[in-house]
Structures are given as structure tokens and as C-alpha cells.
Amino acid sequence: MDSVCGLDFGTSNTISTIFYEGENIMVPLEEHSKSLPSSVFFPFDSLHTPLYGSIATSTYTNNGYGRYMKSFKRILGTPFFELGTSLRPGANILFHDIIVNYLKFVKNKTEEFTQKETDYVVVGKPVRLSENEKGGASGISQLESILKHVGYKNYSFLEEPIAAAYYHQNKLAKNSLAIVADLGGGTCDFTIVGVDDTKKDFKILATSGISLGGTDIDSQFALNVFFSELGYKTVDKLKGLTLSDTPYRYAADWNKITTSLYTFKTEMLVKKMVGKAKFKEKVEQLQSLIQNKDAHGLLGEIENSKIALSGTDSLAFNSKYIANKDLLVSKNELEEAIESTVSKILNNALECCQLANVNSEDINYLILTGGTSKMPMIKQLFKETFHKASFIEKNSMNSVALGLLHKAKKDWL
């Protein structure tokens, strides 16, 4: 039998699913995990043998000497994709090649497991892969080029919320409406599906998406709660004007750390800010973060505190990157910091309803998938908005990947 695959290449994590010996299986991409963090570490003494996933992150955070990157999927469709980045002076790499090599790692792990070459793969795509939807510079064109260079001979794309709808199809009653919300790290995508009286298939009534997700929530949390410790919104000691927020916005963004923070231009800007700042010692911490290339480490700690606040009302934040060791962070601060981002995400879900000519009270099922859907605040808001809908959350981290496999089997086998 031919080998088919569902590939959920995510901003935060990647999952590969296969139909193997009569079963739907998630490939163990790491020793103790079936998902692979979308992270890479290039050791300076061995740039041609990068590390991927959890081992990339742990090597970096344990003072590994090299270049670390995370959430590089978000580079697709942006001007930075064509520019590439510097791993160290004199050693540059294109983001195209970074993603190709990462997905080759995933493909090789999958084929090691099956002992067969992949004949066909269905790849998940956000509803809006990039702002530039047409032409060779669009995110989808770039992803097609990447898949060809990885070595996939036959492939197709499926919007991620539609994949999740396939996975949950048998749970939906006849003549019902469902909204599927795929709330990921880089995008949040929605689809409204209608099930007919046969239950054999469903009709896609509308799709929508917004280029916001968990990484944007991390950014807002960092800026509004933590970065005042590094001089964010600090004033000029002579003129009383607020200093530039540009380096802080770079430091709060996984991709801009890579593309914009660790540059000579930003270093010079921060050096001038240190000289002007009323609270010089705070801005010096930002300067140290840049000089030691520690911004990924701090943002990782902030992301972990966001996750921890799902289960507690407050926590002590003691970071080696921030001088204040008595920082207490609350769930209320998190929710206030991210309120505007969450509102935009929820409004996009309601826009999807409008596109389908239904309202929130017409929805019979609310299906949430993706890591961002795990946040209590977001889950509660969606439940309140679609308050008449039955709530489905089973396998929320894997439903897209398994739905992509369902489509691959339907197409090929």
C-alpha cells in the first residue's frame, strides 16, 4: 500500500501523521514526544549540523554557543524571507533553506518509521498564509517551493480548520452547524461547516483567518507586564520624552529577535538610549540582553509563565535576565495585557459567521483546536459567545494533523 501523510507544520510545533499497518499514527519526531517544536539551533563550531526541536531549545538555554531561532514559519510571505539572516559574521543562510532543512528532518523521521518513501502528503495551511496572497512572493508559493526542495513528489494543501472539521465529523449531528476555531501560535483560523441529513459529508459555508496567535499574545504579555523592567516607556532624562519602543518590540517578537534585534543598527540605537535614559540601569539590561543574545531565553521564560498562569492566579517571576527578583505576575495582568489581541481574534470568528450568513446562536457545535485554545480566558470567551453550542475539545493539539491524514487517505488510497 502507498504511504500517505498528514503534515501539520506549525508556528510553534510540527506533527506528522501516517496510516501505518491499518492505524492512524502520529510519528514520534522526538524521543519522548510526537510533536517537534519549530526551533533550530546552529552551533557555531558546527553550522552544517543544526539541532531541531526540544534539543535545540535546551542546548541554547544551557549556554550553547550558537544561533537559535524559533517560529520561523511566520517568515513566510514577508520581505525577510528573501533576505535571509546571518548565523555568524561571514555565514549567512536563507529562511527558505532553514525551513527546507527542518522539514527534511521531519520527512526523514517519518520515513525511518514507515521504512517507505512518502507517496503523498496533505499539508495544513492557515486560511491567510500571508498578507501577500498572489505571486511568487506569496507565502503559499514559498511553501510550495519548500516542499519540492524537501523532496515531496505529490502534495496538496488543506486549510487547518477544515482539517480539524474532518477529524470531528463523526461527532456532528445531522442538519447541524459547527464553527471550528484553530487557535495556533502564528494564526487563528475559522471555518463554518454544515452537516447534511446523510452525515456522509459536510459543506464548507465560510472560512476566515487572522495573522494573530499565541506568539502575539507572548509579545503583548512581554511588553505590557515585563519590559518596564528593561526600560520600556522610560523617559529621556533631559527632555522628558518617552524613548523609542522599537528595540522592545523587536525583543518581544520571536522572529524580529532573529531579523532585527541582533543588528548593528539596533545596538547603536540602544547605546544612545542608555546615554539619554532617566533610568539608565533599566535600559542597560536591554543592552545586555542584546549583547549576550539572550532575548530568546527571556521570551521563553515569559511564554512559560503565560502557560503556568492557566493553572494559578499569580506566580513569582525570577529571571536571570531581569535584575528585579521580586517580580510577582498575576493572571489578571496577563488578561489585561492581551485583551486587545484576544478581541481581534474573537471578532474574526464572528466575521466568519457573517460570511456564512449565520449568527453565533445558530451554531450547534463549537470545536476548539490549537495550543492557544488552552488559555482559560480564551476558552471561556468562545464558550460565552457561542453559548448555545455543544463544546468539543478532544485531541485539540492533534486534530488538525489527524484531519490532514484523513484527507490524504480520502484522496490517495
Predicted pLDDT at 84: 85
Domain shared by 115 and 203, yes or no: no
What is the C-alpha separation between 388 and 392, in angstroms, rounded?
Answer: 13
Domain shared by 351 and 333, yes or no: no
Predicted pLDDT at 132: 47
Predicted pLDDT at 137: 60
Domain shared by 31 and 121, yes or no: yes
Return the SS3 of 133: coil
236 strand-pairing partners: 277
Per-position pLDDT tens, the chain of length 413: 799 999 999 999 999 999 999 999 999 999 889 999 999 999 999 999 999 999 999 999 888 899 999 999 999 988 888 888 889 888 999 999 999 999 999 999 999 999 999 999 999 999 877 544 455 568 899 999 999 999 999 999 999 999 999 999 989 999 999 999 999 999 999 999 999 887 677 899 999 999 999 999 999 999 999 999 999 999 998 888 999 999 999 999 998 998 899 999 999 999 999 999 999 999 999 999 999 889 999 999 999 999 999 899 999 999 989 999 989 999 999 999 999 999 999 999 999 999 999 999 999 999 999 999 999 999 999 999 999 999 998 888 999 999 999 999 999 98
**What pTM does this model have?**
0.92
Contacts 24+ apart (CB under 8 A), 147-153: 147/103, 147/121, 147/123, 149/96, 149/100, 150/100, 150/103, 150/104, 150/107, 151/104, 151/107, 152/107, 152/118, 152/121, 153/119
- 68 within 8 A of 87, measured Cβ to Cβ: no
Could you tell me if residue 378 is inside a domain? yes
Q: What are the b/e assignments for 190-200, b being 16+ CB within 10 Å? A: bbbbbbeeeee
Could you tell me if residue 240 is inside a domain? yes
What is the C-alpha separation between 153 and 354, in angstroms, rounded?
Answer: 38
What is the C-alpha separation between 20 and 387, in angstroms, rounded?
Answer: 39
Could you tell me if residue 168 is inside a domain? no
Could you tell me if residue 164 is inside a domain? no
Domain shared by 33 and 88, yes or no: yes
Domain shared by 299 and 388, yes or no: no
Predicted pLDDT at 131: 46
Domain shared by 44 and 139, yes or no: yes
Domain shared by 186 and 241, yes or no: no
Could you tell me if residue 397 is inside a domain? no
What is the C-alpha separation between 181 and 268, in angstroms, rounded?
Answer: 43
Query: Measuring CA to CA, which residue among 298, 296, 293 is closest to residue 230?
Result: 298
Could you tell me if residue 363 is inside a domain? yes
Predicted pLDDT at 134: 53
Could you tell me if residue 267 is inside a domain? yes
Could you tell me if residue 229 is inside a domain? yes
Asked which of 337, 358, 374 is the last residue of a domain, the reply is 337
What is the C-alpha separation between 230 and 237, in angstroms, rounded?
Answer: 16
Q: Nearest 5°: phi and psi at 270?
A: -70, -35
Query: Measuring CA to CA, which residue among 316, 174, 289 is closest to residue 231?
Result: 289
Domain shared by 282 and 206, yes or no: no
The half-sphere exposure of 324 on its side-chain side, counting CA atoms within 13 A, is: 15
Number of domains the chain is built from: 3
Asked which of 297, 319, 337 is the last residue of a domain, the reply is 337
Q: Which positions ≥6 away from 130 have C-beta within 8 Å?
A: 76, 77, 78, 138, 139, 140, 211
CATH classification of the domain holding 50 = 3.30.420.40
Domain shared by 330 and 227, yes or no: yes
Domain shared by 265 and 364, yes or no: no
- 177 within 8 A of 365, measured Cβ to Cβ: yes
Range of the domain at 179: 173-214+343-392
Domain shared by 13 and 117, yes or no: yes
Cα 238 to its chain centre, rounded Å, is 41
Domain shared by 131 and 146, yes or no: yes
